[in-house]
Amino acid sequence: MTATIGHPRAHRAMGVGMPADVLLDRHVVARNVREMAERPALEIRKGELSALADALGDKDPTALEPWVELDLLAAYARRESLGRTGPRTEHRAWTYAEAALGALVFVPLMVTWYGLTQASSAYEALIGENPKAATRPFLQLWQSGFEGHLTGAFTFGHVAMSATAAIGVLFALVLVHGLRRAAITRREEAAERDAEDLMAQLVPVLTRAQLVLNQHRLSSPQRFSTELTQAAATLTKLGNKAVRVHKDLTSAAGIVGDAVQAAESRLAEVDDSVQPLTAAVTRVETAVSENGTRLTTALGDVRGAHDEVRLALENAGERVEESVTVLAASQRAYTTGIEVTTDVVTQLLGRLGDITESTARAVEESQRAARELGVQTGALRGAAESFTRLADELRLVNRHSGGWGGRPNGGRGDLSSEGWEEGPSAGRAHDSSGWGGHATEGRGNHPAEHPADRTRVRLTKATEPAGTGEAESEEAGEPRRATPTSLTEAR
């Protein structure tokens, strides 16, 4: 509001260059206030401003008394004092038009896509009936109605015309809405400027009216009497308060005098009581002095004992330090010994592992040699058995050599059954008549085996490995003899 005072129209309204008596003339100010009350923009303040103008124009000085204590600028020079000059509400049709404007934006799209949907359905039906129609352009078929499958309202031309019409209507509504908004904006700006101009004219008028009221308030005898009455009442209140304070101070002084007298009597009693205390303090001081002397002597003794204890502690500390040094050396030696022992044990463990591996290999070789020795022992045992059988057969040959010596090769000598059965082949079937020379004619075709032939066979087998001889002996069914311990026993 302060900035509007410098407006050119405000200067003209205040009457710049006018004499001071003209500016403070009650009738001139009343006429200006009445002119402002007649303004349409100040309709809501018209009654108050008219009453103020009547009070200013009235010749009775008491007519201004109700307005003296009122701040006119704070009460009327406000934006709320100005009413709206234009129509307060708009026509309802404009509200519907704005709502339709937002919906009409999608009408062209809806018409176009719905027409395209109908055209697609008709095209599909046409292709189902006449596949050759697919070679024709889609727009040509759409414009022709797809040979009767599409109504005339949804042909390409009608759909395009409907979309164009919707766009035209939408354009017209947007244009009207824009023009209306521009007009409303201009009216609002003009109303704002008019309100500023009116406020610039109202402030100087109210300022002059406030000056007249202030002058009347200062020059009014009734106002002066009222202020004197208020001042007298204030002084009376202050005097009464001072009397009450004086009474309170008097009573307080009496109380303080009584307290001083009581304090004097108490001090006298304290003086009588202090004398025994003084004597007691003197005795305490003497005792404290004596105790101080004794404490000084005791402190000297304690210092001497402290020196002796310090020396003993120093000696003990040196001994402990030496012991710690010896312990550290012993610990280092022990650590070194443990490290050496650990190295030796590590080497021994390594060598022990090598020895264990060598022992394992030696055990394996011993087991292999034992197996080979067992095999060789079996072979020797077989050879000994073969030699035993050979000795038995040689003994039999020597025993019966007399029966076979004088016989020619074509005949057979007599051989007792006893000599034949003593041989190693006793289990075989043989002729009960023996090997005599009285053989029948029928035996000429099957001569009996001579013991010498068997001996040669046995000698041949004896030279073979033990395993082979044992197998053949077992196949022949001969019993195994005990192994002889010497060649004499074998014979």
Local confidence band at 164 (pLDDT 50, 70, 90 cut-offs): very high
How far, in Å, CA of 382 to CA of 305, rounded? 109
Q: Where are the domains of the chain?
A: 1-219
How far, in Å, CA of 61 to CA of 180, rounded? 54
DSSP at 53:
H
Residue 485 tokens read as 């311990």
Half-sphere exposure of 55 (CA within 13 A, CB side): 18
Amino acid at 189: E
Residue owning tokens 């009936």 = 129
Instruction: Name the range with the highest mean pLDDT among 165-174, 293-302, 331-340.
Output: 165-174
Q: pLDDT tens across 293-329, in order? A: 888 888 888 788 778 878 888 887 888 788 788 888 8
187, 84 in Cβ contact below 8 A? no
Residue 331 is predicted with a pLDDT of 80
With left for phi above 0 and alpha for psi between -120 and 50, is residue 450 left, alpha or beta?
Answer: beta
How far, in Å, CA of 150 to CA of 120, rounded? 10
At CA 291, angle to CA 290 and CA 297, rounded to 5? 95
Work out the percent of the chain whose per-residue pLDDT is above 90: 3
203, 73 in Cβ contact below 8 A? yes
* 396: three-class secondary structure by DSSP: helix
DSSP H or E run through 143: helix 138-143
How far, in Å, CA of 361 to CA of 365, rounded? 6
DSSP at 450:
P
Does residue 194 carry a pLDDT above 60?
yes
Give Dmax over CA atoms of the chain in angstroms.
211
Which whole number is the average pLDDT over 229-256?
85
Amino acid at 38: E
How far out from the chain centre does Cα 453 lie?
107
> CB atoms < 10 A from the CB of 104, how many?
17
Which whole number is the average pLDDT over 225-231?
73
Local confidence band at 165 (pLDDT 50, 70, 90 cut-offs): very high
Measured in degrees and rounded to the nearest 5, phi and psi for residue 155 equal -70, 170
- Going by C-alpha positions, the residue among 51, 50, 37 that lies closest to residue 81 is 37
Between 170-179, 250-259, 342-351, 378-387, the lowest mean confidence (pLDDT) is in 342-351
What is the full DSSP assignment across 265-301?
HHHHHHHHHHHHHHHHHHHHHHHHHHHHHHHHHHHHH
Amino acid at 297: T
What is the full DSSP assignment across 327-353?
HHHHHHHHHHHHHHHHHHHHHHHHHHH
DSSP at 15:
T
Does residue 395 carry a pLDDT above 80?
yes
The end-to-end CA distance of the chain, in Å, is 164
How far out from the chain centre does Cα 398 lie?
113
Residue 191 tokens read as 């109303």
How far out from the chain centre does Cα 53 lie?
78
Between 124-133, 200-209, 225-234, 347-356, the lowest mean confidence (pLDDT) is in 225-234
How far, in Å, CA of 99 to CA of 82, rounded? 32
Indicate the pTM of the whole model: 0.34
Q: pLDDT tens across 449-466, in order? A: 444 455 454 445 444 444
Residue count of the chain: 491
